[in-house]
Chains A and B, each alone.
Chain A
Amino acid sequence: MFDSLTDRLGGILDRLKRRGALTEADVNEAMREVRRALIEADVALDVVRSFTDKVRTRAVGAEVIKSVTPGQMVVKIVNDELVAMLGSDAKAIDLDAAPPVPVLMVGLQGSGKTTSTAKIAKRLTERGNRKVLMASLDTRRPAAMEQLATLGTQVGVATLPIVAGQSAVQIARRAMEAARLGGYDVVMLDTAGRVTLDEALMAEVAEVKAATKPHEVLLVADSLTGQDAVNTAKAFDARVGLTGIVLTRADGDGRGGAALSMRAVTGKPIKLLGTGEKMDALEDFDPRRVAGRILGMGDVVSLVEKAVENLDAEKAMAAAERMRKGQFDLNDLRTQLDQMEKLGGLGGLMGMLPGVGKMKNQLAASGMNDGVLKRQKAIIDSMTKKERRNPKLLDASRRKRIAAGSGTKVEDVNRLMKMHRQMADMMKAMGAPGAKRGPMAGLASMFGLGGGGGMPSPEQLKQMAEKMPGGLPGGGMGGGLPPNFPGNMPGLPGGLPGLGTKPGGLPGLPGFPGKKK
């Protein structure tokens, strides 16, 4: 699967990659070719359109980074959008419920439900150490029940005894009952294939779902499917509420467009890939790896990632240098606020730190939220260039103007200015000669300059949190982050802006003195 899509996209992007400069026309031309390649890979037309639109917009507006050609940048953008389309994170089958956990398999005729049912059952038995019962609810296709029974014997998984004349719902109920009595962990319910236009059969599967309340409802779909994939996925999702997709025949030379489309239109993760007729031919679906495989340009992608990191690091170095010289102006503060937002706002930032989950609540209680961040940025944005470079200019009338311009109150502006002054003072003090081993080391490490900055353990962080009610140890942020923290930690604010006015909540010092190992 995906191989020929790889060839097509690879060819297009290769040509682009080598170009020194790209015009908007170049990008448009490339996107036309990408569109064609995706359509020939059976990606649903609407999905293709939104994909190329997103890539085009991002490519045209992309920041120019030296050491990366615009073409390489486009490759990276295509990669990112592919990953986004495929769903970023791998999702496994979820069995986290009271046993017996029902798993319902649905899909069109001939999509591979029975084979997939047996493969999954085998895997859950052998790797997951679960006791699994399989039941065929297919009362229609000749010998469907025998097929599942035979596979059950093959893989060593129990199947529900066949009782002629029962309806699908009756069998499903019997399976759940048998599983309860027999102490099974999982019940795999294999249903008859059905076209989504068959009202009676769609009602039947909805009834089965209502009767068994499955924890997982998996759509089994053929990766050779064309444009209809989206209709089918939408129809099943609307009727029975899918929790995931199993893509079969991934060992074929289909181009896998159905995979891209179904995830995109339903938002439901692709959980597994069937890759052959043998009972262990089942693979986890990892969107990142698949996107990487489709593009086959992992080298370019990581090159660009590195360059972006370096760029951030360069900015951070410059900022650190300015701070050292006591030139921390409002532009610098603005950059820091930006970086914070990039890292997922306050909530995201706090969530990434070990042992500070609790502080998140304190944060919320103190009224400190991402709205504050936005407001502070708005205040800075309402200043003139001159004012930003030289905060001393800000007299009462200017502050009034700024408050009006940013839709805030003068107190807000005052608070921001106070915070800035405290931070600037602190940094100046740290920048003084001889302060090397102290807070300065923490600051340096925080801005990626290397040196010191040990990482407090979660326990230490917790202690700090307890000792400092109402304020956040800024050092916890600076020194407490893992060394390879995403984005290289450029310009993380030394303290949480806005907390400076709270008692005990001085804009924290990076490197928190005394907490070094």
Chain B
Amino acid sequence: MTDMNDETTKARPGFWKRLTQGLTRTATGLSTGITDLFTKRKLDADTLEDLEDVLIRADLGMETAARIAAAVGKGRYDKTIEPAEVRALVAAEIEAVLKPVAQPLAFAGETKPFILLMVGVNGSGKTTTIGKLASTLKAQGKKVVLAAGDTFRAAAIEQLKVWAERTGASLVSRAPGADAAGVAFDGLQQARAEGADVLIIDTAGRLQNRVELMAELEKIVRVIKKQDPTAPHAVVLTLDATVGQNALQQVDAFKRVAGVTGLVMTKLDGTARGGILVAIAAKHGLPIHLIGVGEGIDDLQPFAARDFARAIVGLED
């Protein structure tokens, strides 16, 4: 595979702009909803129920939507209220939930190699996120090793190989079908031998209810721990922005089996709003590190609670 017919490396607008574009465009529906809702309206039970609906449409889930709607209504009941004000209030409530979990992915200085394990359901964006991360780390002058732990999916190894070539990271792989824990082991040996700063291990996508596949993931973690009891230093779960309420179960299961330490949300450049993050933050308090806003190498952004919350309700900045 070469980059010859690869369009992702073509010039693109700056990624900050892309993020806000993506998020505000995705939020158009929501903000229109809110505007429709509150033009010349009193903040009564009906209105709050409508607001709740709007939040449900953004995937916040019933419970979280009800809680935020109630918070917005508190002390303002029966008052006439401007749409812009409602939007700001909703954003503030969402931000309050997200703020404590917006934490950067810290690659602790002394730990070497810093071992990061990437997990998630099929197609959620693990490999692409690894590529983007490798690029970021390289730009910081770090030495990175990628381990192709997805030995199952067709051409998964080649896919990671392309990212290794793009970013100048080294790649460790075994033949398709090989034991994934073995690849992780090899990766660690290689990273030590190279004196690498960071080892990122890709894994095959798996649905969290598939017992045998989750057991395999557990084994990968066990093998790593045997080599370095403090490792893996980060276990990152990727969540696709289109995901619905099932994300709550995904977080539960991957946390239990692989000890997830933080989240990345991908594909926020689409129409999906990723509102489930608000519910996850409220329930699990897991750090949210990064967001993916495209397929390009630069399309990775730190997760910023304020921006996310405001973009979700259609406020520009």
Contact = CB atoms under 8 A, between A and B. Distances in A.
Greatest chain B CB density within 10 A among A222, A224, A225 is at A224
Interface string A128-155: 0000000000011111111111110010
Given A195-B271, A222-B123, A232-B271, A142 B246 contact: no
A224 B5 contact: no
Contact of B5 (A40, A41, A110, A165): A165
Nearest to B162: A142
B91 to A, nearest CB: 19
Nearest to B62: A39
Interface stretch (A119-127, A252-260, A373-381): A252-260
Contacts of A232: 242, 270-271
B271 A228 contact: yes
Contact of A226 (B267, B269, B272): B272
Contacts of A164: 2, 4-5
A44 B53 CA distance: 10
Contacts of B39: none
A91 interface: no
Interface stretch (B71-79, B80-88, B202-210): B202-210
Contact of A255 (B61, B246, B247): B246
Contact of A40 (B6, B62, B272): B62
Contacts of A141: 159, 295
B143 interface: no
Nearest to B127: A142
Query: Majority SS of interface residues in chain B?
Result: loop
Interface string B293-317: 0010000000000000000000000
Contact of A225 (B162, B163, B243): B243
Nearest to A257: B244
Given A45-B56, A196-B270, A251-B210, A140 B7 contact: yes
Contacts of A154: 154
A140 B62 contact: no
A146 B6 CA distance: 14
Given A112-B123, A142-B1, A146-B155, A40 B246 contact: no
A140 B125 CA distance: 14
Nearest to A167: B5
Contacts, number: 157
B59 A227 contact: yes
Given A140-B7, A228-B270, A147 B154 contact: yes
B151 to A, nearest CB: 13
Interface string A37-72: 001111011000000000000000000000000000
B240 A147 contact: no
Contacts of A41: 245
A463 interface: no
Contact of A140 (B6, B209, B242): B6
A143 B162 contact: yes
Given A110-B123, A147-B154, A139 B162 contact: no
A366 interface: no
The contact size tier of chain A is: 35 or more
A42 B246 contact: yes
Contact of A252 (B22, B131, B154, B246): B246
A41 B61 CA distance: 10
Given A196-B270, A227-B244, A252-B246, A150 B61 contact: no
A249 B210 CA distance: 11
A235 interface: yes
B155 A254 contact: no
Contact of A143 (B4, B159, B267): B159
Given A45-B53, A249-B207, A252-B121, A166 B159 contact: no
A205 interface: no
A254 B158 contact: no
A166 to B, nearest CB: 7
A62 to B, nearest CB: 27
Interface string B147-162: 0000011111011011
A246 to B, nearest CB: 14
A239 to B, nearest CB: 13
B236 interface: no
A145 B2 CA distance: 12
A199 B4 CA distance: 23
A197 B242 CA distance: 14
19 contacts: A45-B53, A110-B123, A110-B240, A110-B267, A139-B5, A139-B7, A140-B7, A142-B131, A142-B162, A150-B155, A222-B242, A224-B240, A224-B247, A228-B59, A228-B271, A228-B273, A252-B207, A255-B246, A277-B122
Interface of B: 1-2, 4-8, 22, 25-26, 29, 53, 56-59, 61-62, 121-125, 131, 152-156, 158-159, 161-163, 207-210, 240-247, 249, 267, 269-273, 276, 295
Interface of A: 36, 39-42, 44-45, 108-112, 114, 139-151, 154, 164-166, 195-198, 222, 224-229, 231-232, 235, 249, 251-255, 257-258, 277
Q: Which 10 A-B pairs have CB atoms at the shortest separation, nearest pair first?
A: A226-B244, A110-B123, A195-B270, A142-B162, A42-B244, A147-B155, A150-B154, A143-B158, A228-B272, A143-B159
